[in-house]
Structure 1
Amino acid sequence: MIDIRPFAGLAHRDHGWLDTRYHFSFSDYHDPQRMGWGRIRVWNDDTIAPQTGFPPHSHSDMEIITFVRKGAISHKDSMGNEGRTAAGDVQVMSAGRGVAHAEYNLEDEDTTLFQIWIMPDSAGGEPDWGMREFPHGDRAGRWEVLASGDPEGDSALPIRADAKILAATVKAGETVTYEAAPWRHQYLVAVGGRIRINGAEANPRDGIAITGEEALIVEAIEDCELVMVDAR
């Protein structure tokens, strides 16, 4: 099953400093048909204005992944961590039994990012945070695992969930294939260009909910970057 959810039809909120689209129910948006996809609970498409951001607030029992598309996000938390995650890179926060954090765009341009929440395999535990640079060239024409509950080598950031976050950059006319377990849930978004997935066409920033497929063949109609979560 491949369910394409057009970007224009996603819930939209414009707070001035934050322009966001919700792929799933979040904040004051509630749709009982879009409460998540497998273990994926949140996928927000955020544009954050310069010199603004999310003031300190708390989370618990959630894996929070931030994929920065343009600009950078600066992080500070109650564990004493501070860091700046730039375009193409990823930060992960395991909220565990509880953590407070703030996320600000301290740049002179808009920052755009995907904020993805995944439910952990078990509750509690010490909170943790990490970020890593992922050069675009390393995922040209192939899938790269950015974060995983079963980290692959030294490159993937660890999360506490049976899930993977992957990315690929694909040039127009080229394809990438992903071997999928049909009982799992994939959620895919293309940035920058149109794609065709197993024959179904999708526009940039459409949400694509997938399950029951053994292989995903993604053809780039235009140059694009793909971001996907594969979760139980």
Structure 2
Amino acid sequence: MIDLRPFDTLGGADHGWLNARHHFSFSGYQDPARMNWGALRVWNDDAIQPNTGFPPHPHQDMEIITYVLEGAISHQDSLGNQGRTEAGDVQVMSAGSGIRHAEYNLEPGVTRLFQIWILPARAGGAPSWGARPFPKDDRAGRFVPLASGLPGDEEALPIRTPGRVLGATVRSGETLDYDLGPGRRAYLVPARGAVEVNGVRVGARDGAAITDEPRLRITALDDAELVMVDTV
């Protein structure tokens, strides 16, 4: 089953400094049919204006993955971590027993990013933060784990849940396959370009909620950049 969620059906709000679109219920957008997809709780498509951002605020018991599409985001937190994550790179914050953080766009242009929240396997634990680059050439024509709590994904940023966040770039006309294990769910969003997933067209920034599809055959209709969560 593939439940297509076109971009223009997503929730969202324009706060001036932040234009956010929500794939799942979040803040002022509430839809009982879109509370989560398995352990995937939040997928926000955010555009942040220059010299603005999210001031310090707390989180607890959540794996928060930030995939930067354009520009860069500057992070600081109550553990003393500081970092700048730019387009093509990924950062992960495991909130654990509790952490405060701030995220600012200190760039001259708009920063666009996906903010993805996944429920951890267990509550508590020491909070942590990390970031690393994932060159797009390294994921050309294949999915690469960007953040993962599954065995065999040691090159990915660690998360505390039995799932993974994957990235791929696919040229128009190319096809890639992905095996989705029994009882697992996938949520795929093309950051750029349109693709066809098992015969279903998924446009840029649309969401595709996928279950009971043992193998995904993804064909690029345009040059495409893909982000996908595979979780229980």
Matching residue of 2:71? 71
CA contact (8 A) 1:182 1:211 kept: no
CA contact (8 A) 2:12 2:29 kept: no
Matching residue of 2:213? 213
Could you tell me which amino acid in structure 2 is paired with residue 166 of structure 1?
A: L
CA contact (8 A) 2:192 2:226 kept: no
Matching residue of 2:120? 120
Matching residue of 1:96? 96
Q: Displacement of 1:86 after TM fit?
A: 0.5
Map 1:82-231 → 2, pairs under 5 A: 82-150=82-150, 152=152, 154-231=154-231
Could you tell me which amino acid in structure 1 is paired with residue 89 of structure 2?
A: D
Q: Displacement of 1:181 after TM fit?
A: 1.3
Alpha-carbon distance change, 47 to 151 in structure 1, aligned in 2, over 3 angstroms:
farther
| CA deviation vs aligned residue, 1:160-190 (integer Å, no higher than 9, x gap) | 0011000000000001110111411100001
Alpha-carbon distance change, 95 to 77 in structure 1, aligned in 2, over 3 angstroms:
same
Give TM-score scaled by structure 1 length. Answer: 0.98
Q: Displacement of 1:151 after TM fit?
A: 5.6
Could you tell me which amino acid in structure 2 is paired with residue 179 of structure 1?
A: D
Could you say what secondary structure the match of 1:123 adopts? coil
Q: Displacement of 1:28 after TM fit?
A: 1.3
CA contact (8 A) 1:151 1:157 kept: no
Gaps spanning 5+ residues in structure 1: where?
A: none
Is the deviation greater in 210-219 or in 150-159? 150-159
Could you tell me which amino acid in structure 1 is paired with residue 171 of structure 2?
A: K
Query: Which consecutive segments of 4 or more residues in structure 1 shift more than 3 A?
Result: 151-154
| CA deviation vs aligned residue, 1:204-231 (integer Å, no higher than 9, x gap) | 0000000111000110000010000000
Could you say what secondary structure the match of 2:205 adopts? coil
Matching residue of 2:54? 54
Q: What is the distance in 2 between the residues matched to 1:11 and 1:153? A: 33
CA contact (8 A) 1:186 1:210 kept: yes
CA contact (8 A) 1:140 1:169 kept: yes
Q: Displacement of 1:60 after TM fit?
A: 0.1
Matching residue of 2:40? 40
Matching residue of 1:21? 21
Q: Displacement of 1:200 after TM fit?
A: 0.6
Q: Displacement of 1:12 after TM fit?
A: 2.1
Q: What is the distance in 2 between the residues matched to 1:29 and 1:170? A: 32
CA contact (8 A) 2:59 2:98 kept: yes
Could you tell me which amino acid in structure 2 is paired with residue 211 of structure 1?
A: T
CA contact (8 A) 1:140 1:170 kept: yes
Calculate percent identity across the aligned residue pairs: 61
Gaps spanning 5+ residues in structure 2: where?
A: none
Q: What is the distance in 2 between the residues matched to 1:120 and 1:85? A: 23
CA contact (8 A) 1:25 1:35 kept: yes
Q: What is the distance in 2 between the residues matched to 1:95 and 1:85? A: 18
